[in-house]
C-alpha cells in the first residue's frame, strides 16, 4: 500500500511539473501589451477554484464513506493524492506571489480560496498518513 502511494506521489509530481511548465511557457508566449500577464493570472484563478472544488468534493466523498463504515476507495486513490499535492502547490505559488508583491491583497476572495486550498491539502495529507502509514504499523491484539 505504501509503494502504491509513493508511485502516485511521483506521478503527481510529474503532472504538477507539466502544469507548471505549461503556465510558464504560456506566459512567455503572450504578446507584450496592456493586458500582458492577465492570461497567467486567470489560469491561476481557475486552478485555485478547480483545486478547492475538487478537493472539497473528494473530501465529502471520503467523509460519506467513513460515516457509512464502508471500505474507503479514496485511501490509496491517485486523484485524492494529486488533489492534495495540487492544492498545496497552489498555496505555495500564492504565498510566493504575495511575498514578491506580484499579487496585491484585494477583496479577500483569492486569499480565502488560497487558505482553503492549504486547509484541504493538510486534511487530505493527514488522512492519507493516518490511514495508511500509521494504522499499518499498529499491532492488533484481541
**pLDDT of 18 strictly over 90:** no
Q: What ranges do the domains of the chain cover?
A: 2-22+46-134
**pLDDT of 141 strictly over 80:** no
> Is 50 or 67 the better-scoring residue by pLDDT?
50
Cell readout for 17 is 511539473
Length of the chain: 142
pLDDT (mean) for 111-123:
91
| Contact status, residue 100 vs residue 93, Cβ threshold 8 Å | no
The proportion of the chain whose per-residue pLDDT surpasses 70, expressed as a percent, equals 81
| Distance from C-alpha of 38 to C-alpha of 22, rounded to nearest angstrom | 15
| Distance from C-alpha of 115 to C-alpha of 80, rounded to nearest angstrom | 18
pLDDT value at residue 85: 92
> Is 102 or 72 the better-scoring residue by pLDDT?
102
Cell readout for 114 is 488560497
pLDDT value at residue 129: 84
Amino acid at each position: 500500500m505504501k509503494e502504491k502511494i509513493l508511485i502516485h506521489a511521483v506521478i503527481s509530481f510529474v503532472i504538477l511539473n507539466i502544469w507548471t511548465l505549461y503556465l510558464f511557457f504560456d506566459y512567455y508566449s503572450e504578446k507584450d501589451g496592456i493586458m500582458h500577464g492577465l492570461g497567467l493570472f486567470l489560469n491561476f484563478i481557475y486552478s485555485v477554484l478547480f483545486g478547492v472544488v475538487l478537493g472539497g468534493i473528494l473530501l465529502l466523498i471520503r467523509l460519506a464513506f467513513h460515516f457509512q463504515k464502508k471500505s474507503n476507495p479514496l485511501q490509496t486513490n491517485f486523484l485524492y493524492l494529486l488533489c492534495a499535492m495540487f492544492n498545496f502547490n497552489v498555496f505555495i505559488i500564492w504565498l510566493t506571489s504575495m511575498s514578491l508583491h506580484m499579487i496585491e491583497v484585494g477583496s479577500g476572495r483569492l486569499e480565502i480560496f488560497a487558505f482553503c486550498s492549504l486547509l484541504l491539502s493538510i486534511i487530505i495529507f493527514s488522512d492519507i498518513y493516518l490511514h495508511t502509514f500509521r494504522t499499518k504499523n499498529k499491532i492488533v491484539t484481541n
